[in-house]
Structure 1
Amino acid sequence: MRKLTESEILSLREMLQMETNALVQSRALQMMIQDDELRRLNEAGILQTEGTIKSFQQFINENNIIEVGEVNN
């Protein structure tokens, strides 16, 4: 794979952050939902969002998007 540009990396970061925020919000709302059908829909959305986040993480890992350097004390 070709190296991503800085703008592509920024876009990837923003998409991952958006999915993470949606997951946090859906999990928080889950406890307040009383309607069974709406609760099931929210649970399905949570599972889908978790899958999307895992896909992003896999893409990042497989393509060495984040370079880990040494930490100097």
Structure 2
Amino acid sequence: MLKFLVRFYKRVSDDTGHEHDILQRQTLVCARSEVSALYEAKARFCETLQISDWRLRADSCEIVDVTSLAA
């Protein structure tokens, strides 16, 4: 199994109009592929926040393979 760190971000504007990505939540997922890890992380995000779609609370997500870092 591979390990992936998935982070969810919300894009917000500051008082000068500049946009920043704010980390909303991150989760470590063990999965066979990046696609599977994203699917699992999005499902966990929705379940934790009791929402039907992860995009209600985040604008983007990123995934990093941390398998080699964990060894």
- Same fold (TM > 0.5): no
Task: Report the structure number with the largest CA radius of gyration.
Answer: 1
Q: TM-score, normalised by structure 1?
A: 0.28
Instruction: Identify which of structures 1 and 2 has the higher relative contact order when contacts are C-alpha pairs closer than 8 Å and 6+ apart.
Output: 2
The answer to which structure has the higher strand fraction is 2
